[in-house]
């Protein structure tokens, strides 16, 4: 490949990394509109294992709204922290790419009074739609998970 082609591929990979990081930030910020905008307009293949799956990102965004935005007494019940690491992205053709990511995830469920720690792997496909990289397929496979009770001494702070 020429220097120009290699540079173009690197720029595409960086744009895909920015997309996935925007997705993770949207999950943690409880931002369903940004979450939804990370996927293609129609027909995204999304499978998050035990959490569920859908053949359209609108369905996943609705599930996201139901879980992430659930409140009790004005406070969010589920608090998440997504850290996407070890991106392995390959440009597979014009406007197409695939990628794998490792997820380090932590969740507090204030109703169940539990903390969930897990790690797993995302396997994604990306396409350019309307000039922007979007996810057309995202599948998550959990590698391990630990759930433990939150002690009585745990005090929730900063959940406005």
The pTM score is 0.92
The SS3 call for residue 50 is: helix
For the stretch 87-132, pLDDT in tens is 999 999 999 999 999 999 999 999 999 999 999 999 999 999 999 9
Is 11 within a domain?
A: yes
Is 41 within a domain?
A: yes
**Minimal CA–CA distance to 105: which of 142, 71, 154, 139?**
142
Q: So what's the pLDDT on residue 2? A: 94
Is 158 within a domain?
A: no
The SS3 call for residue 35 is: helix
Is 157 within a domain?
A: no
Q: How far apart are the first and last CA of the chain?
A: 51
Q: For the chain, what is the domain count?
A: 1
Q: So what's the pLDDT on residue 157? A: 60
- CATH number at 129 reads 3.10.450.50
Strands 75-76 and 71-72 turn out to be: antiparallel
For the stretch 50-62, pLDDT in tens is 778 888 889 989 9
Is 53 within a domain?
A: yes
pLDDT of 158 above 70: no
pLDDT of 146 above 60: yes
Q: Give the 3-state secondary structure of 106-148.
A: EEEECCCCEEEEEEEEEEEEEEEECCEEEEEEEEEEEEEEEEE
Is 137 within a domain?
A: yes
Is 104 within a domain?
A: yes
Largest Cα–Cα separation, the chain: 61
Is 29 within a domain?
A: yes
- Structural domain including 100 reads 3-149
């Amino acid at each position: 490949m020429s220097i120009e082609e290699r540079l173009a591929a690197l720029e595409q990979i960086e744009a895909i990394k920015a997309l996935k990081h925007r997705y993770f930030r949207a999950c943690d910020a409880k931002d369903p509109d940004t979450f939804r905008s990370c996927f293609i307009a129609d027909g995204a293949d999304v499978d998050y294992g035990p959490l569920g799956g859908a053949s359209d990102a609108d369905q996943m965004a609705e599930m996201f709204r139901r879980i992430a935005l659930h409140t009790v007494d004005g406070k969010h019940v589920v608090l998440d922290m997504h850290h996407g690491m070890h991106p392995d992205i390959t440009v597979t053709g014009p406007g197409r790419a695939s990628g794998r990511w490792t997820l380090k995830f932590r969740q507090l469920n204030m109703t169940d009074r539990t903390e969930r720690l897990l790690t797993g792997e995302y396997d994604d496909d990306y396409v350019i739609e309307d000039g922007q990289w979007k996810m057309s397929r995202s599948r998550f496979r959990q590698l391990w998970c630990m759930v433990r009770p939150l002690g009585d001494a745990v005090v929730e702070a900063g959940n406005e």
